[in-house]
Structure 1
Amino acid sequence: MKVEIYSDIACPWCYIGKRRFEQALDRFPGKDAVEVVYRPYQLVPEASEQATPHRAWLAERYGPQSVAMDARVTELGRAEGITYDFDTALHANTFLGHRLLHLAETEYGAAVQGELKERLLKAHFSDGVDIGDRTQLAAVAVAAGLDGDRVAAYLAGDEGTDEVRAQLAEAQALGISAVPTFVFEGRWAVQGGQEADTFLRVLQQVAEETGALVPVAVADDGEACADGACAV
């Protein structure tokens, strides 16, 4: 079974969804036959590579509700073993990170890509790393198992740019407008950071080739990072 997870590095619900899906996968009898691949999505494609404080950016974009938004995901993340530090988090364009994830998948495989995804999320949300900075990104990639010289050369050029842009366009063509979105076998989609039990039921249903998926929560009225998903 192949599961493609569309998500953004700067999406807090993508971090929660990743953890919950992994919990479900650990309980799934067919775990060893499941391939998990991360696909790119950008919530703010126009964001600058020059980092700005997360708190200031979110307040400018969403106003007073931004404080409650951060508080909610912080509490939910704690239950999943995630430490969100929004006071030190930096807002920056995520395209370079998605390029690195593409490199990891194509040259190292899905397992290394998954490790890099975890480290990028932690770097961004917990460690205050500037994910728009090539040097800091390279350090995260090396820690995930990628070769330092290869990463430096890759980020210095434009390798992977066309491929990532094509994947971003594909996400739009599929109608994906909020993340995380989990696509099973290219046929069935589940949106949002669902509970682990829900993901387990979906894995079982897809394995049985029923396609009878339960309705899933979506973002309300375009509100960002609500009800388990982050929307544009």
Structure 2
Amino acid sequence: MKVEIFSDIACPWCYIGHARFSRAAERFRARGGTIEVTMRPFQLAPDASAAGEPMIPALERKFGPNAAQMVQRVVDVAAADGLTLDYGKGVSANTFEAHRLIELATRQGRGVELAERLFRAHFAEGRNVADPAVLAELAAETGVEDTGEGAEQVREHLGRARALGITGVPLFLFEEKFAVSGAQPEETFDAAIDEVAERTGQQPVTVLAAPADGCDDGSCAV
């Protein structure tokens, strides 16, 4: 099963939704199913500065007096999911270069891993994910080679998101035709995965008994 996750590194609900979906996907894999996840870019603030600015003042400017209440709510929800959001030291910055690096990581089979690392750097560590030095460090940490390419592909993906009518993230697109929007509860993701698997003939085999003696991958233990 192919799943594209449209998200932005600067979106806390994308971080939460990604974590919830990942746990649902692992449960499906444990039952014998296969899920291929590809990260797709979306920019909530394409005009944000690469220089970055403290996150709380940026949110107060955008949302006014409701900013503090909004922050506390998302911090509490994230904590319940085992995620740390530290807005006090957070940096609001342009995410285009982070998406470009995820595009390269995807080509190298590490797109999901790098996206998760960028989420943590942005929300828990107060790193500027537009800073070339920060991106170079995180790329090296996750084993991603930054060739400097990927910008044109990111623009194409952003254009595709607009063409699909995507105006909010996270959005989970299954097999290019079934969509689930928002940081849904895990049981909703479980149900969505199962429904898509059933509709597309990818339902995993149900195991009716514990494993017993047998042969595997061309070898037999006797």
TM-score by length of 2: 0.87
**Aligned in 2, Cα 1:31/1:113: closer, same or farther, shift over 3 Å?**
farther
Quote how far apart the aligned CAs of 1:27 are: 1.8
Note if contact 1:25-1:31 (Cα within 8 Å) is conserved in structure 2.
Answer: no
1:158-211 alpha-carbon deviations (Å, 9 max, x no partner): x2111110100100000000000000000011100000000000000000017x
User: Percent identity between the aligned chains?
Assistant: 45
1:31-74 alpha-carbon deviations (Å, 9 max, x no partner): 65110000000001111111100000000011011111110110
**Structure 2 residue corresponding to 1:120, chosen from 104, 118, 121:** 118
Matched with 2:10 is 10
Q: Distance in 1 between matches of 2:18 and 2:157?
A: 20
Matched with 1:164 is 154
Which residues of 2 match residues 7-156 of structure 1 at below 5 A?
Answer: 7-29=7-29, 32-106=33-107, 108-109=108-109, 112-147=110-145, 151=146, 153-154=147-148
> 5+ residue gaps in structure 2?
201-222
Matched with 2:219 is none
Note if contact 2:84-2:123 (Cα within 8 Å) is conserved in structure 1.
Answer: yes
Rg larger in structure = 2
Give the aligned residue type for 1:114: V
Note if contact 2:28-2:34 (Cα within 8 Å) is conserved in structure 1.
Answer: no
Matched with 1:222 is none
Matched with 2:194 is 204
Matched with 2:216 is none
Note if contact 1:5-1:39 (Cα within 8 Å) is conserved in structure 2.
Answer: yes
> 5+ residue gaps in structure 1?
211-232
Q: Distance in 2 between matches of 1:137 and 1:200?
A: 33
Matched with 1:183 is 173
TM-score by length of 1: 0.83
Quote how far apart the aligned CAs of 1:145 are: 1.5
Give the aligned residue type for 1:203: I
Q: Distance in 2 between matches of 1:32 and 1:15?
A: 24
Q: Distance in 1 between matches of 2:26 and 2:150?
A: 32
Give the aligned residue type for 1:100: L
Give the aligned residue type for 1:85: D
Give the match's secondary structure for 1:189: strand
Aligned length: 200
